[in-house]
Amino acid sequence: MSIEPTILENLFIQLIDKGLETGQLDGIIKTLDGQSLLTTQHVHDFLLSWMKEHGRTTTFEIARELNVDQSTILDAWSVLAPQQNWLIADDVLLTSAYIDTIPNELRSLIDQTGGYLSIITLAQHLRLPYVFLSKQLDPMIVSEKYVRLDQISDLILTSNYHEQVKKSILEPLEKAIEPLSMFKLQRSTSLLESQETLFYVLLENIIRDSELEGTFRGRREKSIYVPHSYRDRQISLITSLLEASGYIEYETVEQHYGYSNPKDLLLRHDNEIQLLDTCAITPSLLEKFQNKIENITTTATSSNGYIDMSEHVPFAFTVTDTGSLLDLVIGRIPKKQRPVVLGSRFVTTGDYLKSFVTAAQSFLDLHALQEIQNEKKLHSGKGKKKLYDEKSTVKLTDQEIHDYLAEEQHLNSDFANLAVPVIRRSMQHAFTKALQTVYVAPSTLLSNHGLSGPIQRERDTLRDLRRKIYYSQQSVLLFDDESARKSLEKYIVRQLGLQFLFHVVLLGYFENGEDLGDDIVNTTSEEVMKEKLSTFSKNQNDHYGITDLIPTVLNGKKSDDLVLYLKETPPNFLSTDLLDENAQKETCGNVTKALTDQLENTPVSTSTAPLILHLTSILCFQALYHLPLYVSGKYVPHIIKKISSQLDSHDKQIISDAHTMIMSSRKDPTLFDPTILQNVYDLGLKIK
């Protein structure tokens, strides 16, 4: 009887499975697909062969090749590893021979990268665990003198590379004479261009281990190395500027040494320096200002009873600086001797301010008389009102007090504005008293407001204007440029000609016994003058023959007509005023004095630079040609061109430098040079 093969096959498989389950078939391993049986020896032999050929493997890789469970491979590994001196790292099986090749891999890769290698890079390259690889390399790093930095332990450097990169950082630091940016140094160092972290680690080590002659400001890429030599040099420059001028702006300090707080730096240099808002001043300059201010208390008179500190402080001082300076100085003066400060600008004394109240008696009497007369007109037949009654007292306005100070006492308008609140009460008290006591005789009133004074004043004004126009026209004829000459003629006709005709009109009013009021008589407004000329040409008798000249003056044309009138047919009272050499000399001298006085009272500053050049160029012209010149600042380039050929080389250069500097500084304020402006200012005062 025969048995089917399949039955025998199944029976055999069952017997094998039973034997494996009971352990009776020791050393036999069934594949995962159940189709094959392997002996343990075969697994061992296969693993030995594989490791001999490849030097490394994983349990997964061998299990896949043999189609068995990974536990089978681990069992085989546990037997063979001690015998063969193999190692396991995570799931990687390694022979000793393979492990011995790892240093060579490191050497090869580190040579390729130029002297450094990341263990992570090596681990990725070898597909080995980082911790295992790092531990295996430790002996080699020590024995072969590789460098491994604590801050970046992942990176291995050759000793040579380590020394090179340290040198590439240290040498520029040791040679630096200017501030050195660490960001720029790192980017410019070829060995470290892509190694930002390594650069800053090495930099920290260098700072710790080396004695550098400098300090670091900021951290990492924002760090700047400032050599002590540079610091000392710049601080020396700053102190020189401070000692030379007596003050220095904080902005200037920052420009020369921007690595320290300007105020702290200056105080370290001299703890007696006084700090203002935008600058600092030396004790010597402070003492100078104190002496100047203290002199006010002993020298205050009607002519020099105050000083305008804005004209005495350096041009760089702000309003706040001037105020702070005054606070410092006043605080050092004994209380009983302290002067009065107005508006953080003017310094004066109480006695000086009181003197204006005393001097105002005639002004107050006249004003009181006018009020009384006006009141009589208003209340004629209705009973009298007591102007001096407390509840009905006529008040002086601030504008009236200001006008008295500015016009009658000839005070600076700004000073007058600030003085008004101080003397207002005293002025009002004196005015109230004047309302009660004033008596002005008719003859006195007539002498104050009669016709002789205004008429004589207008005649004197017309004489001066006639001379200015005539001789300024002579000056214009000296200019070679025809277009410039025509423009200058037009300006003189429109400006001086307008003033001349206007004062002729005023003279006519005064001669007719009419009073136009101070607003009209003292006006400088071109519009007011033109309006009066237009009214005159329509409504007034022209016994001075100026009607035909009005269109000429208003249009700025036909300067010859105006000059001919002034020379040949002027008003009869001017016919005896000869336009000769003596008149020319006197006129030129008067104009020169007025310009010099204006220049002397002009502070040297950025804002006044164009005016200083304007005044100086005209003074040079008058000194060279002995003729007055009355023109605005827009003609300065023409004047400079004219006088340049006559000035000596030194003065010519001063004028040229100032003109160039002023034009340039309009676009770029940093180009303003106070020394150049001072030179042209001094030239204007000295030239004769």
pLDDT of residue 19: 53
Which of 172, 185, 161 has the alpha carbon at shortest distance from 212? 172
Which of 457-466, 562-571, 610-619 is least confident?
A: 562-571
CA neighbor of 508 nearest in space, from 552, 548, 542, 538:
542
457: left (phi over 0), alpha (psi -120 to 50) or beta: alpha
Q: Is the distance from CB of 298 to CB of 333 less than 8 angstroms?
A: no
pLDDT at 653: 92
Predicted confidence at residue 48, as pLDDT, reads: 80
Q: Which amino acid is at 425?
A: R
Mean pLDDT calculated for residue range 184-210 = 74
| pLDDT tens-digit series, residues 264-315 | 888 888 888 889 888 999 888 888 888 888 887 766 444 468 888 888 888 8
The amino acid that residue 650 corresponds to is H
Q: What average pLDDT is seen over the chain?
A: 78
Structure tokens that stand for 215 in this block = 């300090």
Tokens in use for 66?
């043999």
Average pLDDT over residues 514-541: 71
Task: Please state, in angstroms and rounded to a whole number, the distance separating the CA atoms of residues 335 and 325.
Answer: 17
- More confidently predicted of 328 and 76: 328
Q: What share of the chain is helix, strand, coil (3-state, %, to 5)?
A: 65, 5, 25
DSSP 527-568: HHHHHHHHHHHHHS--TT--TTHHHHHHHT--HHHHHHHHHH
Determine the residue type at 613: L
Terminal C-alpha separation, the chain: 156
Cβ atoms of residues 172 and 180 within 8 Å: yes
pLDDT digits (tens, 9 = 90+) for 130-167: 777 777 677 776 666 777 777 776 777 777 777 777 88
Local confidence band at 34 (pLDDT 50, 70, 90 cut-offs): low
CA torsion through residues 579, 580, 583, 589, sign: positive
DSSP code at position 395: P
How far is C-alpha 5 from the chain's CA centre? 107
The per-residue pLDDT for 385 is 47
Instruction: Give the per-residue pLDDT at 302.
Output: 41
Report pLDDT for 382. 45
Residue 552 or residue 424, greater confidence: 424
- Is pLDDT above 50 for 446? no
The tokens 């090495």 sit on which residue? 202
pLDDT score for 452: 53
- Which SS3 state, helix, strand or coil, does residue 223 take? coil
Cβ(506)–Cβ(458) under 8 Å?
Answer: yes
Residue written as tokens 């004489």?
463
Tens digit of each residue's pLDDT (9 = 90 or more) over 95-137: 777 777 777 777 777 766 777 777 777 777 778 777 777 776 7
Comparing 73-77, 411-415, 583-587, 605-609, the range with the smallest average pLDDT is 73-77
The model's confidence at residue 567, banded by pLDDT at 50, 70 and 90, is confident
The pLDDT assigned to 7 comes to: 62
Q: Which residues contact 117 (CB under 8 A, 6 or more apart)?
A: 106, 109, 110, 155, 156
Question: pTM of the entire structure?
Answer: 0.47
pLDDT at 619 > cutoff 90? yes
CA distance 408 to 360: 9
3-state secondary structure at position 215: strand
- Please give the full DSSP string across 18-33, using - where no structure is assigned: HHHHHT-STTEEE-TT
Amino acid 529: pLDDT: 82
